[in-house]
Structure 1
Amino acid sequence: MADEFTTIIGGMMQSPPNPNEPIPFTNHLGTMYGVSIPFHVLSWIFVAFRLHTRLRVVREPGLDDLFVVLAALFNLVSLITFLKSTKHGMGQHLIYILPELQQTMLWLYMTNAAYHTTTALIKVSLLLQYLRLFREGSRRIVCIVLLLLVVSWGIAFSFMAWVPCFPVRGFWDRTLDPPAKCYGFGYRGVNEAKHTVLAFAASNMTLDIAILLIPLTEYFRQDLRRKQLFAMTGLFALGLIVVLMATFRLWSIFKHNQNLTQSFDFTWWYPEVLIFSCLEVDFAIMCASVPIFWPTVVASCSHIFVTSEVRISHHQRLNNNSRDEFEMLRTHSMKSTASTEGLNSTASLEQKSFYNGYDTETGRDRRIETTKVQVQPYAQPPRTL
């Protein structure tokens, strides 16, 4: 690696890139922070809703919840180290950051290893979630086979990412004596590292597509309701975004590996790959969490919005000319035998419609309003109270 490194650096010094060339959109700090942070926060909100539903509502947590939390934690590590690397040369040409290249490689090691682990954990979580749904049949067998494949794939690439060199320090410190033995992601050779990155990106995209297609058969159910159809459409839309981000990541790696010198200038083109990586994992976490808490959200909407039919009716009061008058006389009282006071029918109010105790025309609460009535004592003119 020392000889190849020296040769490529010498070639870049002889023909250095233009320091005044336009900076790509993805290399701006505003882009890296503005794209990665909001979607990462949104993914944590989805995880929080998922955990609330599983722990407090249905009270049935499972291994899939554990793996999605682990995926979110490793994703957080990947994001922090990615943003930290921007302060140590990430987004600039390699030839101009040689004095701090060791720090750049250290942060790149952390974000690269955490990302590869996250992709494996979220796939395992999704497949475990499928196993809770498919109790029998061919789909369960497919899930088990795919789960074993994902676990093997994840262990292999995660180990290669966390231990790219022996000792590990050799990944960012190329001055060790004797030199570290590196392989794969360890940049022992530019072509070897490029092939390893491309192999991971291609296999990662393939597994995402396979996992997305497993529940696709639900679309062909004859008893599928419209709400379930819309929910599954939203779920597959998120899944397609995950596959799309993985595809863009693979395309970006291909695009920036046209020649040896360009591929070695990874600090200049790698921010675009890292942004696609962050979006891919964020949407994968959201895709895994939506089916868990969405039924609870739909059920809660009935308590927020009026969804029941209400029957509204009105009744007419008796008027003074009605024959159905009532008179209750207290002509014989234990305390006052002289009382001849009586209670007659009330005067007619203006006919109005009421909804649950409220006047639909004035908006006044009729439940607490004092009603005006006419009381007609015996042998006295009527008076209004």
Structure 2
Amino acid sequence: MEPFSINDNTQLLSVFGFPEYNNFLEEVPFTNKPATLIGFTVSFLALSWIFVLLRLYVRFKVVRMPGWDDLFVMLYLLFTSVSSIAFLLAIKYGSGRHFLLLTLGEVRNYLVLFYVLNFSLNFAATFIKLSQLFQFLRLFDKGSWAYRASVIGIVVISAWGIAYTLLSLFPCASIPDAWNVLARDAKCWAYASQNPDEFVATIVSHNILNTIFDIYIIAIPFQLYSKSGLSLKTRLGLLVLLLMGATVVTLSGWRVYETIYFKAGWYPTRDPTWYGPKSILLIVLEINVASICVSVPIFWPVISPYLGAIFVTHEFSVNYEEHSSSRDRGVNDHYKDSFIMDLVDPLGSSTNRYIRSREKEKWEKSLRDLKDMKDETAV
């Protein structure tokens, strides 16, 4: 009898045998079908690119004041694109199919792509949260609880992102062991651990913390909705943005449930390529929707100048009549207003003071002219 030969075309089933729980006859889930994975991933990635590019156009071309939040959103866009491409390529090598029915060559390629996908998603999830928090630093006054909460969030989320990203970048003492299913005595941990409890704990803890941070970020600007003096349009705009944030939290919470229920692909049997696609798809959608949330307030005044920016405080409703009094103002002039600069200025109080001094002179002149016109009318 010839010895059993193992090569890239060898099916894992012939190496490891049948599992105790045979799930081969399970109906293919909707989220395991290539058309579903490709359709949702490509569509939401395209939307993310459109919204982020609109945001960057406003910051770089209209107000010419890019900031830290723009840097982080660009880094997000880079890594979410890498993760989405890796996710799409993984379909060819087994994503959505049963793990044991794959060949060794397919599994190796899948695990390499999962490695790229995993650290890219960790980067993307961290950067999009940091972008939102740095954006909050422009919105809220220094010393306010919302400003301090944003600073605390930046510190904590940075530590979270660094910790889990390092675990995803260095999952084994020898990194190639992470995609070698036949490796013996491999020293791996966290995302590449062969201990199901350790592997599941890593995935679940990351997902739960991710959801907690999403809720934390959404809660910070919620105070604006309850402020007195908000116009109806501003209040509705803020409500829409909060609902979009709630969508992010919903997707995040759903992913936590899926991860816990299927034990990150280890329950009811170890089959990560069969039970994992839904969780991965959910985080891809989550961070893409989050990018829309952080981009809409920046370019909204350009496409809808009469509605004002979504993230405008009560100053908008108080000053709206004054800002609307000059019908001949262009888009660029619109973005020189002090209340818009509070939203988009990354340089802080020094630039704001300069803009406001110019605006103060202009509006004082406008008010004097308006008063003269009223006096003439009265006469």
Q: In the alignment, which residue of structure 2 is the partner of 1:97?
A: 102
- Runs (4+) of structure 1 exceeding 6 A deviation are 8-11
Q: Residue 290 in 1 paired to residue 296 in 2?
A: yes
Q: In the alignment, which residue of structure 1 is the partner of 2:228?
A: 222
Whether contact under 8 Å (2:207, 2:255) holds in the other structure is yes
Deviations 1:213-256 (A, max 9, x none): 00111112111111211111111111011101101111111221
Uncovered stretches (5+) of structure 1, i.e. residues with no partner: 1-7, 309-385
What is the CA-CA distance between 1:108 and the residue it aligns to?
1.0
Return the index of the structure with the highest Cα Rg. 1
Q: Residue 190 in 1 paired to residue 196 in 2?
A: yes
Q: In the alignment, which residue of structure 2 is the partner of 1:159?
A: 166
Q: Give the Cα separation in 2 of the matches to 1:55 and 1:289.
A: 13
Number of residue pairs matched by the alignment: 296
Deviations 1:60-113 (A, max 9, x none): 110100100110110001110011011011111111114221111111111111
Q: In the alignment, which residue of structure 2 is the partner of 1:138?
A: 145
Whether contact under 8 Å (1:16, 1:95) holds in the other structure is no
Greater strand share, 1 or 2? 1
Give the counterpart letter for 1:97 in structure 2. Answer: L
Uncovered stretches (5+) of structure 2, i.e. residues with no partner: 1-12, 309-323, 326-379
**Residue 268 of structure 2, aligned match among 262, 267, 275:** 262
RMSD: 2.4
- TM-score of the superposed pair, with normalisation by structure 1: 0.72
**Residue 208 of structure 2, aligned match among 185, 188, 202:** 202
Greater helix share, 1 or 2? 2
Q: In the alignment, which residue of structure 2 is the partner of 1:73?
A: 78
**Residue 53 of structure 2, aligned match among 38, 48, 51:** 48
Q: Give the Cα separation in 2 of the matches to 1:213 and 1:141.
A: 13
1:200 to 1:259, Cα distance in 2 relative to 1, 3 A: closer
- Does 1 or 2 have the higher relative contact order (CA < 8 Å, sep 6+)? 2
1:218 to 1:269, Cα distance in 2 relative to 1, 3 A: same
Q: Identity of counterpart residues, as a percentage?
A: 32
Whether contact under 8 Å (1:12, 1:261) holds in the other structure is no
Deviations 1:43-69 (A, max 9, x none): 110001101111111111101001001
What is the CA-CA distance between 1:167 and the residue it aligns to?
1.7
- TM-score of the superposed pair, with normalisation by structure 2: 0.73
Matches within 5 A, 1:1-385: 13=18, 15=20, 17=22, 19-99=24-104, 100-136=106-142, 137-176=144-183, 179-257=185-263, 262=268, 264-299=270-305
Whether contact under 8 Å (1:174, 1:180) holds in the other structure is no
Deviations 1:174-193 (A, max 9, x none): 4457x432111112311100
3-state SS of paired residue (2:70): helix
What is the CA-CA distance between 1:12 and the residue it aligns to?
5.8
Give the counterpart letter for 1:63 in structure 2. Answer: W
1:267 to 1:130, Cα distance in 2 relative to 1, 3 A: same
Deviations 1:9-59 (A, max 9, x none): 988615463544321111111110111111110111000110111111111
